[in-house]
Structure 1
Amino acid sequence: MKPLFALLIFAFSLILTGCAKPTPVQSKDYSAFKESKPRSILVLLPKNHSTDVDASHSFLSVVTHPLAEGGYYVFPVAVVEETFKQNGLSNAEDINAVSITRLHQIFGADAVLYLNVKEYGTSYQLINSDTRVSASARLVDLRTGKELWKKSATASSNENDGNYNNGLLAMVVNAAIQQIVNTASNKSYEISGITSARLLNAGSSGGLLYGPRSPEYAKAAM
């Protein structure tokens, strides 16, 4: 009887857990963002915490599009990088360490976007090959030093993967093939585009507010 009673107690606890109300999601505070009203954004070379040496520049090349689409003027990344080189700065650590006062003096931007690439590249497991890009972003007002917004995002080549019903041998072979194809075709760059869109698209859940160059900007102000 004791095992049966314990089983009933366990089942009842699962029912109670299922009936419990979910924890409400905290809404993001946009008060500082709305007060700042940034029009132009300076994007710095991302810090790279992955094992791929090309991750910083590769991810940087895809982040300006969603920002521009969101209604912001984005300083040309090639011009920004050359400006830093002329001042003796070429790596992400040194560039990200420049004070906001100095950045504002040099570029005159309203805000600066700090980026961190946490994962970048293709990893191979026994029955799986996954190309994954994870990054975080933080927007800071260059005039006041206030943090306006931050977010993290991830994209993976294994999203909606339908290979789980295949045989073990087929999965192993497929993983090996995908590893070769993804590496040769620079799959990480493609996944970077998805990650940057999830991270920086204006108007998305927890995303940036629309900038003044977007038609949605006026609507949001109404």
Structure 2
Amino acid sequence: MVKLVACLSALMLATGCATPKKYDYTALKESRPRSILVLPPLNESPDVNATYSMLSQVSYPLAEAGYYVLPVTLANETFKQNGLSNAAEIHAVSTNKLKEIFGADAALYITISKYGTTYMILDSVTEVTANAKLVDLKTGKVLWTGLASASSGESSNSGGGIIAVLVTAAIKQIVNSVTDAGHPIAGIASNRLLSAGRPSGLLYGPRSAHYEKDVIN
């Protein structure tokens, strides 16, 4: 028994008492970007709506965090005028060239790994997962990285019998097939990914009242 208690105590010290590693913001604090160019997200999901659904919703949390965000529609049109029509081609453009064309301090690269609805017999779940990295366009250095997910996560199995559950699931599948169910979930994921003030999230930008506090601390 004594040996068992000793082993359990050692295990608790090794796991339960460990503190999360603090994110290293050194590069971001040194760079102090004021303006951000958002590139069209890379889409690794099978849903063709993912790229522009996410792109249309990332400016808000960045602006709320205190950064100037180059208008995504203007940036996208500029890419098209230069013969770049998909996210993979745009992500391959050098940071020097992006700096030359747009003049932004940093670029945000987003990759969507999950986007869409998974259908099951009795229910369906819509999920969006994306990761991002902020890159200094002058030096090419990665300033910050993040990952976030969001899910509808609501079950409709709350009474009414198996027939009612099946009917509800069928209706949800029909509705989701004719609408982009992932769009509002992408908005939640975007806010979780890019809102400032979250653990390991972006620091506040220069347009925020919290900016100096974030940079100094």
Partners of 2:124 and 2:49 in 1: CA distance: 20
Q: When the two structures are aligned, how many residues end up with a matched partner? A: 209
Equivalent residue runs for 1:121-132 within 5 Å: 121-132=116-127
Contact 1:129 1:176 in 2 (8 A): no
Residue pair 1:123, 1:179 contacting (<8 A) in 2 also = no
2:11 is aligned with 1:16: no
Deviation at 1:114, TM superposition (A): 0.2
Structure 1 stretches of 5 or more lacking a match?
1-7
Q: Deviations over 1:130-180 (max 9, x none)?
A: 11111110101111111111111110011xx35456455544333222222
1:205 is matched with which residue?
199
Partner residue of 1:187 out of 165, 181, 195: 181
Counterpart in the other structure of 1:59: 54
Secondary structure of 1:198 counterpart: helix
> CA-to-partner distance for each residue in 1:4-54, whole Å, 9 max, x for gaps?
xxxx9xxx79x939x724243111110101001000000000011111112
Report if aligned partners of 1:115, 1:136 keep a CA contact under 8 Å in 2: yes
Comparing 210-219 with 188-197, greater Cα deviation is found at: 210-219
Q: Which residue of 2 aligns with 1:4?
A: none
| 1:214 CA displacement | 0.7
1:196 equivalent in structure 2:
190
Question: Which residue among 156, 169, 174 is the counterpart of 1:175?
Answer: 169
Cα-to-partner distance string for 1:178-222 (whole Å, 9 max, x where unaligned): 222334342211101100000000111111000000111133346
Q: Say which SS state the counterpart of residue 210 (structure 2) adopts.
A: helix
The secondary structure found in structure 2 opposite 1:59 is: helix
For structure 2, the residue ranges without an aligned partner over 5 or more in a row are: none
- Find the aligned partners of 2:157 and 2:57 in 1 and give their Cα distance: 31
Preserved CA contact (<8 Å) 1:72 1:211: yes
d(CA) in 2 for partners of 1:24, 1:168: 46
Q: Spell out the pairing of 1:1-222 with structure 2 (5 A cutoff).
A: 16=8, 20=12, 21-22=15-16, 23-158=18-153, 161=154, 163=156, 166=159, 167-221=161-215
| Identity within the alignment, % | 52
Contact 1:122-1:183 within 8 A present in 2 as well: no
* Structure-2 separation of matches of 1:220 and 1:140: 19
Q: Which amino acid aligns with 2:176?
A: N
SS of structure 1 residue aligned to 2:23:
coil
Query: 2:49 touches 2:180 (CA, 8 Å); kept in 1?
Result: no
Aligned residue for 1:103, secondary structure, equals: helix
Deviation at 1:111, TM superposition (A): 0.5
Distance between the aligned counterparts of 2:22 and 2:173, measured in 1?
39
| Superposition CA RMSD, Å | 2.3
Task: Give the secondary structure class of the aligned counterpart of 2:46.
Answer: coil
1:131 touches 1:182 (CA, 8 Å); kept in 2? Answer: no
Conserved 8 A contact 1:43-1:114: yes
